[in-house]
Structure 1
Amino acid sequence: MSETEHEDPLGAASARFDRAIARLDTSLRELAARQARHQRIEVDTQRLIHERSRLATELDKTAARAKRLDDSAHEVSRRLVEAMETVRSVLQKAEN
């Protein structure tokens, strides 16, 4: 075999190697980008879970406050009815 016959296969092998390295480099960059996106999604998911928990706690507190206000309104209404009945009773006695 002559030296030129050895250079041709060596050159072809070198070119294939360079292309393989370029594909590997591209794959690694794409993998890094996918991992970065995945990490951002994980961070966003954790933030949303925390926000959901905070909102659920806030909703529970608001619901409890609304119940207390409703109970208070009911008590005020009951007392107003009693007061009106008392006033009506006093007015009826005064008429008689």
Structure 2
Amino acid sequence: MSETELQDELASAAARFDRAMERLEDSVRELGARIQRHQRIEVDTQRLVHERARLATELDKTAARAKRLDDSAHEVSRRLVEAMETVRSVLAKAE
């Protein structure tokens, strides 16, 4: 093999090596970008989980308050009915 052919093969091998290194660098950059996207998704997911837990707690408190209000409304209604019946009874006796 002549020296010129050897230099051509060496240049060709170097060019292939350079292309392979460029592809590797591109792959590493893409992997880094994918990792960053994944990390952002993880952060967003954790934020959503925290927000969901906060909203669930708030909903539980609101539901408990609504039940207490409903129970109070039923008690007030019952007492009003009793009072009305007492007034009717008193009025009926007075006639």
What range is the shorter-chain TM-score in?
A: over 0.9
User: Aligned-pair distance for 1:6?
Assistant: 1.5
After TM superposition, the structure 1 = structure 2 runs for residues 77-96 of structure 1, keeping only pairs within 5 Å, are: 77-95=77-95
Matched residue type, 1:29: R
Q: Within 2, Cα distance between the matches of 1:36 and 1:2?
A: 51
- Report how many aligned residue pairs link the two structures: 95
After TM superposition, the structure 1 = structure 2 runs for residues 14-93 of structure 1, keeping only pairs within 5 Å, are: 14-93=14-93
Give per-residue Cα distances to partners, 1:34-91, cap 9 Å, x unaligned. Answer: 1011001100110010011001100100010000000000000000001000100110
Q: Within 1, Cα distance between the matches of 2:5 and 2:60?
A: 82
Q: Within 2, Cα distance between the matches of 1:14 and 1:67?
A: 78
Matched residue type, 2:39: Q
Question: TM-score normalised to the size of structure 2?
Answer: 0.97
User: Aligned-pair distance for 1:30?
Assistant: 0.6
Q: Within 1, Cα distance between the matches of 2:71 and 2:94?
A: 35
Question: TM-score normalised to the size of structure 1?
Answer: 0.96
Structure 1 residue ranges without an equivalent (≥5)? none
Matched-pair identity in %: 82
The two structures, once aligned, show a CA RMSD in angstroms of 0.7
User: Aligned-pair distance for 1:2?
Assistant: 2.7
Partner of 2:4: 4
